[in-house]
Chains A and B, each alone.
Chain A
Amino acid sequence: MTYAITRRIASAALASAVLLAAAPLAAADWKPQKPVEMVIMAGQGGGADRLARLFQSIIQKENLSSMPILPVNKGGGSGAEALRYLKDKSGDDHVIMATLNSYYTTPLRTDIGVNIEEFTPLARMALDTFVLWVNADSDIQTLDDYVAAVKASGGSWKMGGTGTGQEDSLVTAMLETEFGIKVTYVPFKGGGDVAKNLVGGHIDSSVNNPSEALGFYQAGKLRPIAAFTPDRIDVFPDTPTMTELGHELVYWMQRSFVAPSGMSPEAVAYYTEMFEKLNATEEWKTYTQEKALMADFLTGDALQAYFLEERAKHGDLLGAMGEGS
């Protein structure tokens, strides 16, 4: 017992001495000592999950981490479960979390005792885009057709999307305010489900991410009407943007990684470098092109500033929807 304690004190003292002496150099020396847990803020099979597993596979394949990365889904409560979990892991160097926009909307909507300012930002990998879709069999060709059709329906127009208060419903709310229209918002479990119901004619339109609707688009079953991006998306060169059409509607889904509060700077440096290398791989570049993702790499303080700015924006959006707590 005594032996163990003295040894622990000794090694702690040694470690801090090393830290003090070599703090600037230490970054390159730290390596994970055990498998790294990659918490995913969403359930299995969804868009966020697929992307997180893609990252894991690239990391594994290209040997970017000395220890395996283990994905763990904690999708409960729109990510509330994951956020709580990360809060409890304070100071742990072997946990990272893949986030989406529920990173800020969930704590805004439900009181779960989490302040995202406390977490450590690692890297933003990409911004996902949104497109307004209708069934290819419909007569709607342009945004004007669309607005007219929604108005003519008298509120019974069915817009499908993910859970209320999540990204799709925010984009829908933006549409409603901008055009002075009213739709019936039907929530589904995931983006793939939404796309399928649009093709099957059970809903009238959607605001799917391109990756979720791409398969059906290529098969000629879905028609993109307008993109919620500042510039046209490469995969859909003929689809105008909302901005082009004179409507300032831009919305992104961020795909980033964060770590618990109090992660050691050496570990932060290690993971940041790992994601930097990941960002440069061929696989990732091909994927972003094919799936119409914007690879927009951002780290450190700039990323934290981005998170806080987005949180404020979403607070306003949710407030306007009457969803804020």
Chain B
Amino acid sequence: MELMAHLADGFATSLTSLNLLIVVIGVTVGLFIGAMPGLGSVNGVAIILPITFIVPPSSAIILLAAIYYGAMYGGAISSILLGIPGASTAVATTFDGRPMAQKGQAGLALIAAACASFVGGTISVVLFTLFAAPLADVALAFGPAEEFALVLLAFTTFVGLGGDDVLKTLMMICLGLALSTVGLDLISGQPRLIFFDQPGFYSGISFLVLAIGVYGIGEILYTIETQKSAPSVTPAKLTFGELWYGVKELNKHWKTMSFGSILGFFVGMLPAAGATPAALMSYGIAKLMSKTPERFGKGTIEGVIAPETSNNAASTGSLLPMLTLGIPGSPTTALLLGGMVMWGLVPGPMLFIEQPDFVWGLISSLYTANVAAVLVNLALIPLFVWALRMPFTVLCSLVFILCIVGGFAPSQKMHDVWLILGFGVGGYLLRKADYPMAPLVLALVLGPLMEKSFRQTLISEQGNVLAFIERPLSGTFIAISVIFFLLPMLKHVNRWLGRKPSPAE
């Protein structure tokens, strides 16, 4: 019961009026930052970090955590409304969120995303509270071989469960992996694929540039062509009835939500993995377990719930290695870590013992941030839905400006803007040929991680490829990925076998 005493102390900190105010401001700012394509929680935290000196450290970290949380909620908004994922964690949300918006259910999709995020975040914080310290050891057991196996698993859930056209999916993954090799090689330090000697390619191609290009600009071009005057989205009305319906719908999917939360928490907890593979795997598994898998990808509420519970759960999970090991699980937690160093805190195994006030203040503020984020988010949904009722000509130019500004802002290089325009045209052409965009974008995000851990393992095991199977954890992951990859094929074979006798009849 020591735990409860600590948590109560924590709440005493986080429920002061100053800290409550800070949480509400933080989640609101975060929500808008996350909703803008191009600005993610990384930018939000980076911008706010220097301002945090005016408040005491415990309030400062609460502010940063609130922004982090708000941005995770906000990420779903542009995925659903515009079809542009604001962060790699929200890519899976576009699969069904966007079709829902096109059917006029934008409000319902946003409600589902907000509530699912709340459930995922809350389950994850509870797990965090109960098991933070012992779970740090699990994170330590994860070496390069396990990292590789986990990313492989994320890819196979995707290929095996997602694809309408497996060949096209595989081709897009390959293209994404090729793009991910641009820049400086981690192992040898040598530059690779520096096109036309442009210095901009030294830093590689960022997820944001590709996603804004293919989803943002590509979508604008595609929409202009297909529906010259009609709006790209059926205007949605939002009523209390819809809210009630949304909550009722959500109630049917407890299995998906609890599974997504637990999966998200564990994957997010592993250093270097983070919320992107978590959301992807959760979507894949939800489809696998669903009684109506054929509705996935066409705008089913379950397809929004699964990735949203999981990515929020993962964002909490990724705080764990940061606090207990000093290893950030995502770029944003890396910035939080920088903030903690600034306030004279030493993240690592001693933090829980030496700075209990700080740790438990932070944990309890995650509970309050979650509640604040879902309330603020629900209150703002009418505003977001209203934005969609703008005439297409206006909306289109606004989105275009958002795309260009969002692409320029993080790096402040025109190089990235030209790339966005290039990817936009390329993405538009590929879309016309019915190639899926998600595998391309996700391969770019997960590719470097996969390559790095693969090579690290081979170097340290003296080139022994069997090392991946010999280690128990990574062996298990690889076995599961093989099953996931083969399962849909078996289904095909099964169906084929089942149909075979029919001509004879």
Contacts and interface: CB of A to CB of B under 8 A. Distances in A.
Contacts of A165: 188-189
Interface string B153-186: 0000000000000000000000000000001101
Contacts of A193: 271-272, 327
A218 B334 CA distance: 21
B331 A45 contact: yes
B190 A61 contact: no
A76 interface: yes
Interface residues of B, number: 50
A49 B189 CA distance: 19
A239 interface: no
Interface stretch (B87-95, B138-146, B246-254, B389-397): B138-146
Chain A facing B: main interface SS: mixed
B404 to A, nearest CB: 19
B318 to A, nearest CB: 12
Contacts of A219: 348-350
A68 B358 CA distance: 28
B479 interface: no
A262 interface: no
A32 interface: no
Contacts of B349: 215-216, 218-219, 221
A81 B42 CA distance: 20
A200 B270 CA distance: 12
A189 B337 contact: no
Interface in B304-345: 321, 325-328, 331, 334-335, 337-338, 341-342, 344
Nearest to B455: A187
Interface string A185-204: 11111001101110111110
Contacts of B203: 74-77, 81
B187 A77 contact: no
B189 A81 contact: no
B191 interface: yes
Interface string B347-373: 111110000000000000000000000
B187 A164 contact: yes
Contacts of A96: none
Given A50-B337, A163-B186, A214-B348, 20 more contacts: A44-B338, A45-B331, A45-B334, A53-B338, A57-B49, A57-B50, A60-B53, A76-B183, A77-B183, A81-B199, A81-B202, A110-B189, A186-B459, A192-B326, A193-B327, A196-B326, A200-B141, A215-B325, A216-B348, A218-B348
The 7 closest A-B pairs by CB, nearest first: A215-B348, A45-B334, A76-B203, A202-B143, A219-B349, A77-B202, A200-B140
Interface of B: 42, 46, 49-50, 53, 139-144, 183-184, 186-191, 199, 202-204, 271-272, 321, 325-328, 331, 334-335, 337-338, 341-342, 344, 346-351, 412, 452, 456, 459-460, 462
